[in-house]
Amino acid sequence: MMESLFYGASAVALLATVAALTRANAAHALIYLIVSLLAVAVLFFLMGAPFAAALEIVVYAGAIMVLFVFVIMMLNLGEAGNSREREWLAPRKWIVPGILAGILLLELVLAVRHAPDNTSGVEVPPKMVGLTLFGPYVLAVEIASLLLLTGLVGAYHIGRRFIVRRDFSRPGDNS
Amino acid sequence: MGGLQIPLEHVLLIASCLFSCGLAGLMLRRNLIFMLMSLEVMLNSAALAFVAAGARWGQPDGQIIFLFILSIAAAEVAVGLGLVLQIQRRFKTLDMDQANRLRG
Amino acid sequence: MSELGTITFGLFIIVAAVGGAAVLTWFERRLLGVWQDRYGPNRLGPLGVFQVAADMLKLLTKDDWIPPFADRPVFVFAPTAIVVAMLLGFAVVPFSPDLYLLDINIGLLFFLGMTSLAVYAVLLGGLASNNKYALLGGLRSAAQMVSYEVFMGLSLMGVVMLTGSFSLRAIVEAQRDLWYCIPQFLGLFTFIIAGVAESHRLPFDLPEAEHELTAGFHTEYGGMKFAMFMLGEYLGLILISCMITTLFFGGWLGPWLPPVVWFCLKVFIIICFFILLRAGIPRPRYDQLMTLGWKIMLPLTLFNLLITGAIALWLEG
Amino acid sequence: MAVLWLIPFLPFLSATLMLLSAGRMPRYLSAWLGVGSIGLAAVCVALVARAYLADHQVQELTLWTWMSVDNFTPRIAFRVDGLTVVMMSVITGVGFLIHLYSVEFMWEDESICRYFAYMNLFVAAMLLLVMADNLLLLYLGWEGVGACSYLLVGFWYRDPDNGRAARKAFIVTRVGDTAMALGLFLLFTELGTLDIQPLMAAANDRWQIGDTLPILATALLLGGALGKSAQLPLHTWLPDAMAGPTPVSALIHAATMVTAGVYLIARLYELFLLAPPTLAVIAWIGLLTLLLAAFTALAQKDIKRILAYSTISQIGYMFLALGVGAFASSIFHLVTHAFFKALLFLAAGAVIHCLHHEHNIFRMGGLRTRLPVVFLSFLIGSAALAALPFSSGFFSKEGILLSAWTQPGIGPWLWAGGLLGALLTSIYSFRLVFIVFFGEAQTEPDRQPGWQMAIPLMVLCVLSLVGGWFVLPLSGVLPDPGHDPVSHWVEYISIGTPLLGLTVAYLLYLGRQVSIASLMASPAGAAVQSFWYGGARIDKLYDLLLVRPFTGLTHWWRNEPVDLLYNALVWMTRWGHGRLVVLQTGELRWYATSMVFGLLLLLAIVLRDSA
């Protein structure tokens, strides 16, 4: 039962990912991507990593992807954008990326082929994750926080001038 | 509820497939938003591999690396989407083949 | 509980929650009427209680129209998302010591995940409608939800710290001596505000602010799909009330009465409080909303977290 | 001991509060906080000292482990023995008096809050320095006091000269600190610990007297001590550091921080005992410094610079004592010096304060009747500085001279040098008294010192007088050489020398029985005077020896043939750039695809190797 759930979720994840990356409409692609992420969250949960599963939903699906939707809504390219995307997705353009990705997949399959181990079947509870995170990994946490701070400042700086504030006090100037 | 015992190979295989898909998407798509999405897929597949490895040993380290990947993804998306907005404003397109000059 | 029992119970919860949400539409209007010194629906049946049935009939028989310019699949998908997410959220609520669907040790995180997924209904609804007002409503909603989700999660971490677990049953059990509404009053306060904002009810209903955006993200929706949005909103209200009860008011704990009754009683009181909130407080401006979220509530939750952590360490020795 | 951690924490807390207020704190509140926190710390120190004096039990307190890297685990831990008790008492006691004094001195300054914040931070860092049980924590305090010294010397930062003085103080001490850091590295790599007690034990265990390694380590540590304590050749920053407010000079550049070097060597005396050559060097450096600074002090005009050179000279005595192994005498002199030099600085500050910020002693005069409290303080301070009999300086300096005398071999030479220094000290200190307080009035004081100034002066007067009778709880902590009884004439001479100096000063500057005006007017005399006035030209020497050659070298190097190599490199890079630039299309997908190519290749190689 659980095994079949696992393989089902894997199939959903794969199919949704493929679908996500071949859509012309960004919103549709995002919905597929979210489905894929939820499927991966199920995989995490089944492998005994409930904390990672929850975070995958809360942070990945619930926050990061919302940002994507937000930007798509802000840009709101509409049908024109979709048709152009469709044009860019012509079968001819698939050849090189397809071949390269195929070779990579082949190589990866060759590389992981000899892993005879099973997953342990032990659930790693959030408390243990937390203790390890703030124990041996505390320096990495600091670095990650620094990275996030950098991301924050960078995003603020880069995104700041997207909305040009009109100066309403000077009616003649509409630049 | 305990975890599931499945061959590690299978999980890694799924992660490889996801990674290849993401990579193909990255090479295929010209729209910056889709490229960012492909990057997310790749990061996510790497996270899957890490969590699988953590599950193999029953240790929290895999999940911790997942957390770091999560923070990297968050930072990357924040900056990346900021760039999307800027590029759209300056070039009036998200086609990365056209936005190829250093100075906008 | 047996497999079959679980399934039955799950179905029962779904029916009860949906039914509760339906009754709530009537109840809210009556209660608002009382507080605002007017009648509210009072024509059909005793106290107008059959108004619920009438409304349902009207919504169900309405023409299920989809605007031609809309993004069809997404347009249909959006309202279902919120109902599904909210109903899933009920899976982790412990109604009594042995009346629950799931007791996973990340119950709280599961709830947070479901509320964060509920955002998509509003977002995608607004996007798929292909309508200015809907889009603006969706954008507002996205920003509001993302902002308020941040401290919603953080406001609960004080509770988690005191209990040492994400499991909702453990959290209730830990409140045997003292309900967390006392030591975590800051957490309660911020969580209530975040909860109102997450279910985008008044006073934080900016995504659908009638005066500016006609009806915001569901401008184009009608009939059954509109009903589902409303259903989702009321389900969200009930879910948030359940969570507040569980996390801060001792869940099923209470003397004399059976646990389930206690639980329902508490949830009922909190729902009344939410309706009172709607009756009493005007809607803020959008920038005020954002300022409140980032500059007041977030520091407040962080402060709460700091103090709670310090006290927890202190008690530990 | 529970109150132990409060001692550095209280000043630190109040400094943090004041810094966080960003100068918006009302001035009376800053004053209360600034003085109060030190006062409370002093009370805590008194409690700790009482407990120590009762049972001579070393108190230890580990707060937490600072960091843990491999077997390097320095702790935030305090260790209080007799030496630390003495230092803590001096720091908080004298520090409290100086803070109290500062309230009046700095009251009209707009940034009094910043002043007290820096001062409290300094006290916290200094306490950390003396209380630390490992050298890394000590080093933290060491750098902390350096930073505070920088901040306070440049306190009136609007004047670029003050900023320059602050930078000079910082950079010159940094030279020494670098040496010290190297010394710490050496000690850690060799002995595997920086905790002071285990370090000493390990050093005694592994090293013989006269080994190369202890000599090298102690020499490096000595470098730090020389920089911080303004000894030859790193003394040049201290006279310039007088640019800061006078209470700062009293606290940091006379009573406490500059003696940190002495403390360091005393704290690590077991290590230094393993390196006799270093000790000899310390003695000679001390002697040279004290003579040089004494001569220089004789020629100065600025009241604070005179005191600054006198400080250098007195610390020279302490180094001399350390060099001859009289560690306890050195610390004793440190304590008495802290009393009388703080007194002198504060009195000088009062003079400056009352005379519209006049620094030149030749524009003062006749202040004896106009500022009686200050006169009395100055007189007592000078008497102690000159080591007139029965003042506190007399006892401590006597101890140092006798220890020098009993040193085998070079002892008499050191003794004679020290004696000459004592003579000079006596002359320049009474020159100062006679010129400033006697004779004709040049400038009229426009105010009298208030109680916040008078009380610290009084207390320090008493301490300067009776400080010599204190018995410091150093037995068991520092070795007491217990020198052999010396013949009486040695003692008589060292008692008589200051009196001789007083007489000379009287004849030259007050009685005017002997005129040196003609001597000073002669070319040779003028040259000698200007030589000493310029601090023995050491600043010039450094400029000539270090700065000029360096800038010259850089100028010369700028157009060197070596550049041809780099030019060739540039040309090749340009050429390569021209060829490779075609790869940079700006197309993101192209980049990604090429990266994938590389990845595939690498993976293939790895696979082939593993297969």
For CA atoms D363, D368, D372, D374, the dihedral sign is: positive
- Residue D93 reports pLDDT greater than 70: yes
Distance CA(D318)–CA(D307), nearest Å, equals 16
Determine, for residues B14 and A13 on separate chains, whether the beta-carbon distance falls below 8 Å. Answer: yes
The pLDDT assigned to A168 comes to: 53
Residue D418 lies in a domain: no
With respect to residue D439, please indicate whether it lies within any of the assigned structural domains.
no
- State the pLDDT at residue B2: 58
pLDDT tens-digit map of D373-402: 888 888 888 888 888 877 888 888 888 888
Residue in A60, A121, A159 nearest the CB of B70: A60
Whether pLDDT at D547 is above 60? yes
Whether the CB of B21 is below 8 Å from some CB of chain D: the reply is no
Report yes or no on D513 lying in a domain. no
Question: Mind listing the pLDDT tens digit for each residue in D296-307?
Answer: 888 888 888 888
- Whether residue D596 lies within 8 A of chain B, CB to CB, comes out as yes
Say if residues C144 and C223 touch (Cβ distance below 8 Å).
no
pLDDT, residue A162, reads: 54
**Closest by Cβ to C117, choosing from A25, A57, A127:** A57
Is D561 in the B-facing interface, judged by CB distances under 8 Å? Answer: no
Where is average pLDDT lowest: B19-28, B48-57, C199-208, D68-77? Answer: C199-208
Give the gyration radius of chain C's Cα atoms.
20
Name which of D588, D593, D596 to mutate to probe chain A: the one with the most chain A Cβ atoms within 10 A of its Cβ: D596
pLDDT < 70 positions in chain C: 1-2, 206-212, 214-215, 317
D-chain residue closest to A111, CA distance = D607
Report the pLDDT value the prediction gives residue D422, as an integer from 0 to 100. 87
Mean pLDDT of all residues in chain D? 84
D113-117 average pLDDT score: 89
How much of chain A is helix, strand and coil, in % rounded to 5?
A: 75, 0, 25
Q: Which of C307-311, D481-485, D589-593 has the highest mean pLDDT?
A: C307-311
In a domain, residue D554? The reply is: no
**Any CB–CB contact under 8 A between A43 and chain C?**
no
Instruction: Return the SS3 of D358.
Output: coil
Residue D584 lies in a domain: yes
Name the residue with tokens 């009686």. D372
Query: Which residues in chain D are contacts of B29 at CB distance < 8 A?
Result: 589
- Mean pLDDT value of segment D58-77: 80
ipTM for the predicted complex? 0.73
| Å between A74 CA and nearest CA of chain D | 23
Contact residues on chain B for D587, CB-CB shorter than 8 A: 96-97, 100
pLDDT for residue D518? 67
pLDDT value, residue B68: 92
Using a CB-CB cut-off of 8 Å, the residues of chain D touching A96 are 593
Is residue D583 domain-resident? yes
Domains and CATH numbers, chain B: 9-101 (1.10.287.3510)
Q: Between the ranges A164-168, C305-309, D105-109, D441-445, where is the mean pLDDT highest?
A: C305-309
Given a contact cutoff of 8 angstroms between Cβ atoms, the answer to whether D319 and D262 are in contact is: yes
Give CA angle at D239 (D238, D240), nearest 5°. 90
Label residues D590-606 b or e (16+ Cβ within 10 Å = b). Answer: bebbeebeeebeebeee
- Distance (Å) from the alpha carbon of A43 to chain B's nearest alpha carbon: 8
Domain that holds residue D588: 574-610
Q: Does the CB of A81 have a partner CB in chain C at under 8 Å?
A: no
- C208 close to C215: Cβ distance less than 8 angstroms: yes
User: Per-residue pLDDT tens for A109-159?
Assistant: 888 777 677 777 777 888 888 888 888 888 888 889 999 999 988 888 887
Q: Token pair for residue A96?
A: 């090189």
pLDDT of residue A149: 92
Query: Which residues neighbour D303 within 8 Å (Cβ) at sequence distance 6 or greater?
Result: D348, D351, D352, D359, D360, D361, D364, D432, D436
Q: What is the structure's pLDDT at D570?
A: 92
pLDDT score for D572: 93
Structure tokens at D74: 């320095």
User: What mean pLDDT value characterizes chain B?
Assistant: 83
Model pLDDT, residue A172: 47
How do residues D229-254 score in pLDDT, each as one tens digit?
A: 888 888 888 888 888 888 888 888 88
Chains touching B by CB (3 or more pairs below 8 Å): A, D
In a mutational test of the B interface, the residue from D583, D584, D587, D595 whose CB has the highest number of chain B CBs within 10 Å is: D587
Nearest alpha-carbon partner for C129 in C205, C85, C180, C66: C66
pLDDT band at residue D123 under the 50/70/90 scheme: very high
The nearest CA of chain A is from the CA of B34 a distance in Å of: 7
Among all residues of chain A, which has the CA nearest to that of D594?
A100
Q: Does D388 reside within a domain?
A: no
pLDDT at D575: 92
- What is the total count of domains within chain D? 1
Query: A61 and C109 in contact by Cβ < 8 A?
Result: no
| A161 Cβ contact partners less than 8 Å away, ≥ 6 residues apart | B86, B89
Residue A175's pLDDT is what? Answer: 41
A52, closest residue in chain B (CA to CA): B63
Q: Is D593 on the interface with A (CB under 8 A)?
A: yes
**Cross-chain CB nearest to A162 (options B30, B67, B89):** B89
pLDDT of residue B104: 42
Instruction: Report pLDDT digits (tens) over D338-369.
Output: 888 888 888 888 888 887 777 787 777 777 77
Contact assessment for residue C187 and residue C301, using Cβ atoms and an 8 Å cutoff: yes
Cβ contacts of A142 within 8 Å, gap of 6 or more: none
A3–chain B nearest CA distance, Å: 7
Tell me which chain A residues have a C-beta less than 8 angstroms from the C-beta of D599: 104
Q: Nearest 5°: phi and psi at C177?
A: -85, -40
Q: Is D395 a member of any domain?
A: no
Q: What is the mean pLDDT of residues D263-288?
A: 88
pLDDT the model gives residue D515: 65
Q: How far apart are the two ends of chain A, measured CA to CA in Å?
A: 64
Task: Give per-residue pLDDT as tens, A11-44.
Answer: 999 999 988 888 888 888 888 999 999 999 988 8
